Chains A and B, each alone.
Chain A
């Protein structure tokens, strides 16, 4: 009996060693590449993302029914009788409103595709990183032209960059991720700098030519120097200028795009380095 237990324990330890070797090998393979294109991730992403998309769609339907119908019924119990009469009309109206809003968002994004940022594709956000990092999953992938480092933006501002692209889905690293850095310039003075993600909802200024005149409300645009985002896209606004820490003041920037409410995004798939967004502030002479 004890021999059986010992043999089973031995098998368990051997299995653990094999599993650890497998995972360590997988990790060390990626340490030699900045962006991994491992087939394992592509396979699993292609397997899981459609299920995630389906779940997202189902939840979206339930959520919109809850938001637009059930909660209203709860809030206005005294109008139950009238509400029943109008149920079908309300539902129809809500659906149409939702569709109009969605169409408006898509039209805004589509309008941007005609600008100077090259070819682009509209994608829908279908999930957020289950490991609490600042990434989202979108429903467009390599087949649609997305590659690692493709820029992802909205009409409000930049969102992030693609870090893994499977055939039909991609993982987007948000600009607030602690591993993210964006080359920026101040809208008014055109001073160049770098904004880093902090893993929270804000960005931190990591470098700028001169931080003496920075003040709350100043806006940062992309500088194009990181060769990921086209020049002149809105990044965010300074929310706080703290005391100097070392060489630089502690400056916090709130992203212009609402990263917690992303639904549709625009992915730049053919961004020409020479092409730059028409930037109205470009006309402002540097001091």
Chain B
């Protein structure tokens, strides 16, 4: 009988957990925004891309996580396949790089990062979408208002998530 080293099983378990968590994030976002309209303003994949970027501090893992979340998000929506993928890849990478250069455990840093990443993500996805399929009558002024509202919602939810993470870290430390 073939035996597998314990370290390989552990790695597989960690990867499995990550994959399940990522799928759950995208599915929860899809189902909740269908059931409750307000959830349309949240972008859970974005929040988790920033979260993993900050907490893992590993640029390669973070960009892979961001890219996967974005691709899944694109597949469940009508946007150009790769638009959210590219945007979340960049966000995951930048968040991980920022994590090694700035004090990302400070609330103000987190607020700024979540807000700017959220607005940047909306802008980039819109530009990429327009490059492939130009909108017939996109209302940019109202779109900008929605971006700001969405960025505010994402920042608030992100702070709650980071707060929960901090509490858990303190308890286990």
Contact = CB atoms under 8 A, between A and B. Distances in A.
A137 B76 contact: yes
B30 A23 contact: no
A4 interface: no
Interface residues of B, number: 58
Interface residues of A, number: 60
A44 B89 contact: no
B59 interface: yes
A198 B137 CA distance: 6
Main secondary structure of the interface of B (DSSP, over half): helix
Interface centre among A63, A128, A130, A171, by most chain B C-beta atoms within 10 angstroms, is A130
A274 interface: no
Interface string A15-47: 110011011111100110010101011001101
B7 interface: no
Given A59-B35, A125-B34, A52 B143 contact: no
B26 interface: yes
A23 B67 contact: yes
A132 B40 CA distance: 5
Main secondary structure of the interface of A (DSSP, over half): mixed
A44 B75 contact: yes
A130 B81 contact: no
Nearest to A38: B81
A40 B31 contact: no
A52 B76 contact: yes
Contacts of B26: 48, 130
Contacts of A130: 26, 29-30, 33, 43-45, 73, 76-77
Given A12-B60, A129-B78, A178-B137, 20 more contacts: A16-B90, A23-B89, A24-B82, A24-B86, A25-B82, A36-B81, A40-B71, A45-B76, A48-B72, A49-B76, A51-B27, A125-B34, A130-B44, A131-B77, A135-B77, A135-B78, A178-B136, A179-B133, A180-B136, A260-B37
